[in-house]
Amino acid sequence: MSDNSLGTIVLYNTMTASKEKLETLEPGKCGIYCCGPTVYDYTHLGNARAAVVPDLMVRFLRHQGYEVKYVRNVTDIDDKIISRSAEQGVSPTDLAVRFTEEYHKDMTALNALDPDVEPKVSETIEEIIALVKQLVDKGLAYDMDGDVYYRVPDFKGYGKLSNRSVEEMLESAGSRIDVDQRKETPLDFALWKAAKPGEPSWTSPWGEGRPGWHIECSAMSSKHLGDSFDIHGGGRDLIFPHHENEIAQSQGAHGEDTYAKYWVHNGFINFAGEKMSKSLGNFFTTRELTAIFPPETLRYYLMTVHYRSGLNFDLEVTCPACHAVLDKEQQESAKCEACGHETTSDILKKQVRFPSLEEADDRLAYIYSTLEASQKFLETAKAPGQDVVVEGAVGEMLGAFIAHMANDLNSSGALGVLSKPLGEINGLLASGKGVNKALRFAIIDLFVKSMKEVAEILGCFGKDPSSWLVQRRDMKAARIGLDTDKVEGLLIERITARQEKDWSAADRIRDELTELGVSVQDGATGSVWSFI
RNA sequence: GGCGGCAUAGCCAAGUGGCUAAGGCAACGGUCUGCAAAAUCGUCAUCCCCAGUUCGACUCUGGGUGCCGCCUCCA
């Protein structure tokens, strides 16, 4: 594909429903606005994906030489925040501040870059009021008892992003939800809401009130990126009505040819909710998962599938006695059909496994092990005096990786490109037989250098391999309830037995370790253990 | 009902109008190993169904079936 030659980037644009070559308003620069979190609770994996996808985009564009201005908002005024704060007996502001902090912690854990600007609704009220006023003045909005509504049928382009027609929507309106009778048409949406007692509010030309849901993004993107900018991102569910309404507001105020040029929407995570009994609880917040898996495992997992596709989040619960997979009914009754074993909810909770995360974790460990061994090799081996040209899988790796990323951020395809080089490197590390010494060094050196760039783009594989592997091992040990000290003790016993060539004792100890869920690797430099 | 998406090996998942349809997991076989494990090498698909366009389609068009999402301030 000639479109994929280095330097050209293709993105899928929801507005045109097709892949388009990225041509930014100003060559070499790119303004990105991304709908950030509503801060009323901890983030879940879906929120994590909605942040990691634009992060990947920003990193890649920067790697390709773009000067990116990345704006991601925080919605700190919202119905959900108000109702949650009422439930908890705290002020909406305190709740929002608290969960903004928690959001930042999760983002840091996931290695998502800070946006260049992180505007908050509460700090953009002035601009929001000005924008609403502009729409009222233009006749595109009207005031009703302190509420201000957008006059949807008067905006010609309404529905162009989500591919809906105003006529059809008017016909079906009201069939699903009750319509506020004060509105001129059911499609009209609130730009400004009159304050109810106890709610946070600001003084406006229409009285005390607060912004509606959609107006904030129009106001904040204009403020920080201008009335027109390059890329607007968010989850698929925001296409309608949120992004459609943003377009109506911004283009209504600033003109039809303004606002975002490319609309990029990420797919959903399919939670395996039906597979899991409610009584076992849900641990799908980012926080709960990063407590049992290295955060980078989550990030890696999110990139194993193309960003527009759905991502299946698997989990399974197994019988503690016979390890059969239990379906929802068996989880609820806490009884295994296969072997008849009866247990309790609490015990079953510990039996929950995340196969897809475990696979991602193993893969990441394989990659880091290869990096660790490569770095050790380069530290001890002698660099060749002359330049050596590296061809083959390792030589082509970075170019192929970038080509995939340039094709609508195809991280899945890009990750696939790494497999051959990894195999080749591990082969070279195991044995230098039949390979020119200088070439061997050059290949491994190029691999490590290429992986550094890959790590910059992905935000993965960039940690110190040894420390990451230690962290990962400790977390996995905790996950399966492994007594590490006991393992280490057995390992020492076994090393002694092996030195004395007492194979039967060595094998017996190995069986014990296997029981614990540990496998042993005997190598030239000693014995190490890992998980089965 | 409206709009949109998806359907590729046991599982997950890229991709292409025509050369051997990436990669991962699992499985099987070889190398390595005291035996193993890890690592490595190899084996493992004709792309939901029907019709059409085309010299040629898994890839394009139409129809069907099946999943899923949005239309309800959930990413």
Q: What is the pLDDT of residues A134-174, one digit of tens each?
A: 999 999 999 999 999 999 999 989 999 998 888 888 877 65
Nucleotide nearest to A428 (CA to C1'): B40
d(CA A99, CA A417): 38
Q: Which two tokens stand for residue A4?
A: 């994929």
Helix or strand run (H / E) with residue A316:
strand A316-318
A498 touches strand B (CB under 7 A): yes
Neighbours of A13 (CB within 10 A): 19
At A324 the pLDDT is 76
Q: Angle A347-A348-A349 (CA atoms, 0-180°, nearest 5)?
A: 90
User: Crossing angle for the helix pair A355-380 and A419-430, nearest 10 degrees?
Assistant: 50
Q: How confident is the model at residue A274 (pLDDT cuts 50, 70, 90)?
A: low
Which 8-state DSSP code applies to residue A176?
S
Query: What's the whole-model pTM score?
Result: 0.94
Residue with tokens 């296997």: A514
A17 touches strand B (CB under 7 A): yes
Please determine, for residue A126, whether its predicted confidence score (pLDDT) is greater than 90. Answer: yes
In this structure, of A242-246, A407-411, A508-512, A528-532, the range with the lowest mean pLDDT score is A528-532
On whether the CB atoms of residues A312 and A272 are closer than 8 A, the answer is yes
d(CA A378, CA A309): 39
Return the CA Rg of chain A: 28
At A515 the pLDDT is 87
d(CA A325, CA A9): 44
Helix, strand, or coil here: A290?
Answer: helix
Phi, psi of A434 (to 5 degrees): 75, 5
d(CA A207, CA A61): 44
Helix, strand, or coil here: A354?
Answer: coil
Instruction: Tell me which protein residue sits closest to nucleotide B26, measuring alpha carbon to C1'.
Output: A359
A116 touches strand B (CB under 7 A): no
Q: Angle A307-A19-A74 (CA atoms, 0-180°, nearest 5)?
A: 45
Helix, strand, or coil here: A203?
Answer: strand
Helices (H), A73-214: 79-88, 92-109, 125-137, 166-172
Instruction: Tell me which protein residue sits closest to nucleotide B16, measuring alpha carbon to C1'.
Output: A1
Query: Average pLDDT for residues A427-446, to the nearest whole number?
Result: 92
CA A347 to chain centre: 31
Please determine, for residue A341, whether its predicted confidence score (pLDDT) is greater than 80. Answer: yes
Helix or strand run (H / E) with residue A523:
strand A518-523
d(CA A267, CA A411): 14
d(CA A393, CA A450): 12
A1 touches strand B (CB under 7 A): yes
The pLDDT mean for chain A works out to 91
Q: How confident is the model at residue A1 (pLDDT cuts 50, 70, 90)?
A: very low
On whether the CB atoms of residues A218 and A129 are closer than 8 A, the answer is no
ipTM > 0.90 for the complex: yes
Which residues in A334-488 belong to E strands, given as ranges? 352-353
Q: How confident is the model at residue A385 (pLDDT cuts 50, 70, 90)?
A: confident
At A330 the pLDDT is 80
Which of A191-195, A279-283, A386-390 is modeled with the greatest confidence?
A191-195
Q: Which two tokens stand for residue A371?
A: 């990096």
State the sign of the Cα–Cα–Cα–Cα dihedral A157, A159, A164, A165.
Answer: negative
Please determine, for residue A375, whether its predicted confidence score (pLDDT) is greater than 70. Answer: yes
- Residue whose C-alpha is closest to residue A284's, from A319, A326, A256, A315: A315
Q: Which two tokens stand for residue A125?
A: 């009220």
Please determine, for residue A178, whether its predicted confidence score (pLDDT) is greater than 80. Answer: no
At A428 the pLDDT is 95
Question: CA of A18 and C1' of B51: distance in angstroms?
Answer: 27
CA A191 to chain centre: 30
A79 touches strand B (CB under 7 A): yes
- What percent of chain A has a predicted confidence (pLDDT) above 90? 72
> Is A259 buried (19+), middle (13-18) or exposed (0-12) by CB count in 10 A?
buried
Helix or strand run (H / E) with residue A8:
none
The strand B neighbours among A residues 269-328, by Cβ under 7 Å, are 269-271, 304-306, 309-312
